[in-house]
Chain A
Amino acid sequence: MKTLLDRARRNPALALGVAIAIIIGAAALFPGLFSQTSPLEIDMGRALQPPSTAHPFGTDHVGRDVYSRVVHGAGVTLGIVSGSLALSAIFGGLTGLFAGYLRGFSDLATGQFTGVILSFPPIFLGVMITGILGSSVANLVVAMAIIYFPLFVRVARSSTMVEASRSYTEAAQVLGAGDLRVIFRHLLPNVLPAVLTQYIILFPLALQIQAALGFLGLGVQPPTPDWGASLQESKDYVLFASWTAIFPGLALILSSLAVILIGRGLQSKN
C-alpha cells in the first residue's frame, strides 16, 4: 500500500487512477456520505429535469435524483463485478493450481471443460445462465463467475507449471512435503501475483459485461440503482434528457479507467 502511494507520487497517470478509485470506492462503501437524497424516491412532478443545484446530475423519467442513483449504484455494480471476479479467481485459481501441478487426467479434464466455456461469447453465456437460473443478483454473480472462470484457470495453470518446474518444488518434495503442502505453501504464494494481475486485467471487461447484462435486464432488477440498468431505463429519453444516460455511463467509464490506469502504473518500472 505504501509502495502504491510512493509510486503514485512519481507517476501522474497512476495517481489519477488511484484518486478516481478512492472516490468511487468511497461512494460504493459509504454512499450516505455523498448523497443524502434517496435513490428510490419517485416524484413525477420533477421528472426529467436537467442538472441543477438541487439535482446535480438532473432527474430521471420518474423524478428520481440521478446523482443519488449513480452514487448508490456504485456499490451495486462494483460489488457484483468484484464479487463475481473474486469467486472466479478463487475457484479458477485453485483449479489451475491443481491442474498445473498434478497434470495428467485432471489437467486434461479441466482443459476440456474450460475450453467448452470459452467457446461461448461472454454475453451469450451470461444470458443463457441467468435465463436458466432466473434473473437475480445472486445468479448474475454466478453467471459472471462462470464466464471468467476459464481465464483464471489458464493463468493459474501456466504460472503453476512454470513454478513447479523450478527446483524449489523438487526440493520441497525431497524434504518430504506432500502434494497439498507443495501446492498451498510453496506454489500458491508464487502463483498469486499472476492471478491478481489477471483480476486487474479482467475487471474493466467484467464491468462492461455486467453493464451489458444489466442493460438487457438481467440480474439487477428495478428499482435497485445499477449503472447498466440505469442506461437501459434512460434509453427512451436519451435524445432530449441526455443526463439520464451520460452520468451512469461516465461512472462506468471512469471506473474502468481507474482500474486500467492502476494496472498500467503498477506494471511500469518507475
Chain B
Amino acid sequence: MNPENEVLRLDGVSKVFFQRASLRASNVIKAVTNASLSLRRGEVVALVGESGSGKSTLGRAAIRITEPSQGKIWLEGRQITHLDRRKLKPLRRKMQMIFQDPYGSLNPKIRIGEAVGEGMRLHGIASSRDVGQRVAAAIERVGLPAELAKRWPSALSGGQRQRIAIARALAVEPSIIVADEPTSALDVSVQAEIMDLLKDLQRREHLSMLFISHDLRIVRELSDRVLVLYLGHVVEAGPVNQVFSSPAHPYTEALLQSVPRHPAEPAKKRLVLEGELPNPISPPQGCVFHPRCRYALPACKQADMSSRTVAPGHLTACIRDDLDLNATAVERR
C-alpha cells in the first residue's frame, strides 16, 4: 500500500469505558477491541454493525474526539496518537465529522452563516473580509441558497440542516470526514437526497470518508471497502463487493440476510440471528460471536479473534475456513 496516499491509518485501536458499578468497583466496557484500518485518499470505508457494535466509538476514536485507550493513529503519515490538545488543534481542520442528528448538531443560538464560517475563522482559512463570500460558496456547494446564512437553524428542515452540517464540515477542506449515520435520523425521502449529495460530493471532490452506517444498501452504494463490527471486534474486512458477494464470517452472512428484500422477490428461507447482542461488560470467551453462531465448534470458545486472509485485502476473524456462506444480494437502494 502506498503510504503517500494513505490518509488515515489505525493500528490496534481499542477503547474501554469505565462504568461505576459500586463505590469500589467499576465495570470495564470494551467498546472497541484491537481495530485496524487504512484509508486511502478518495476512498470510502464503511463501518457496519448493529447498535452497540462500537462503530461510532471507533469513528470518534479515529479522529481523537474520543481518546483511544490503546493503539496508534496516523493522519497523512503523521502519528497523532499522543499529540496534546494544543498540537492537535491545527489538525482539527483535517478531520471533520457529520453527525447523525441534524437537530442536535446545529447550535440553536448560532446563525447558519456563523456556524458554517466558524471553522474557517478558527483556522484562519478565510479573513473576516471574505468569510461571508466563502460561507455563501460553502452553502451553495451543498445545493442550498446562500441567503440561508442569515437564518437561524430553527427555520430549516431536517434535510436542510443536514446539508448545512455537511457544508460546515467541508468548509475547512478536511482530509477525512467521519460520517456517523448521516441519514438515519431523516425521513426516507430526505435520506435519498442526502445520500445523493454525499455521493455526488464524494465523486466530484474525491473525499475520503469513514462512513458509519447500519444500512447495508447505503454502504454498498457509497463505499469501496467495509469493516464489519461485532461487539467491538472487526469480524470481517474487505472490498464491499467481495464481502457482500462472498462473506467469510457467519455474522456478516446473518447481517446480509437481515436486509429487507423487495416483496416481489421469491421468498427464501431466511437466517435469523438468535438471541441478542451480549453485554459488553462480560463478553463471551473466545470468539465473541460463538454463542449466536450456527456454525460454532468447541474450538470457537478458545479462538482469539485474530484475522486471517481469505483473499487479497479480505480478512475474517472466523477460524472456520470450511464454510460456504450464503451471500444475499444486497441491492443498491
Contact = CB atoms under 8 A, between A and B. Distances in A.
Interface of A: 166-168, 170-178, 181, 185-186, 189-190
B63 A174 contact: yes
Nearest to A178: B89
Interface in B86-138: 89-90, 92-93, 95-97, 99-101, 104-110, 118-119, 122-123
9 contacts: A167-B101, A168-B105, A168-B107, A171-B97, A171-B107, A172-B118, A175-B96, A175-B172, A189-B107
Contacts of A189: 107, 109-110
Nearest to B165: A171
Contact of A171 (B90, B93, B99, B109): B99
Interface in B67-101: 89-90, 92-93, 95-97, 99-101
B168 interface: yes
A218 B193 CA distance: 68
B325 interface: no
Given A167-B105, A171-B105, A172-B107, A177 B97 contact: no
B122 A186 contact: no
A176 B89 contact: yes
B65 interface: yes
B65 A175 contact: no
Contact of A186 (B63, B96, B107): B107
B109 A174 contact: no
Contacts of B100: 167
B165 A177 contact: no
A138 to B, nearest CB: 35
Nearest to A175: B119
Interface residues of B, number: 27
Contacts of B90: 176
Contact of B107 (A174, A176, A190): A190
A176 B108 CA distance: 19
A185 B122 CA distance: 13
A166 B103 CA distance: 9
Given A186-B110, A189-B109, A175 B104 contact: no
Contact of A177 (B63, B96, B118): B118
A189 B153 CA distance: 14
Nearest to B93: A176
B183 to A, nearest CB: 15
Nearest 10 A/B pairs, CB to CB: A176-B92, A189-B109, A175-B119, A168-B107, A167-B105, A167-B104, A166-B104, A167-B99, A174-B97, A176-B122
A174 B168 CA distance: 11
Contacts of B169: 174
Given A173-B65, A174-B169, A176-B123, 8 more contacts: A167-B99, A168-B108, A171-B105, A171-B165, A175-B172, A176-B93, A177-B118, A177-B122
Contact of A174 (B92, B101, B104, B106): B92
A171 B89 contact: no
Contacts of B96: 174-175
B122 A170 contact: no
A26 B238 CA distance: 75
Contacts of A177: 118, 122
A170 B180 CA distance: 12
Contacts of B99: 167, 170-171
B168 A171 contact: yes
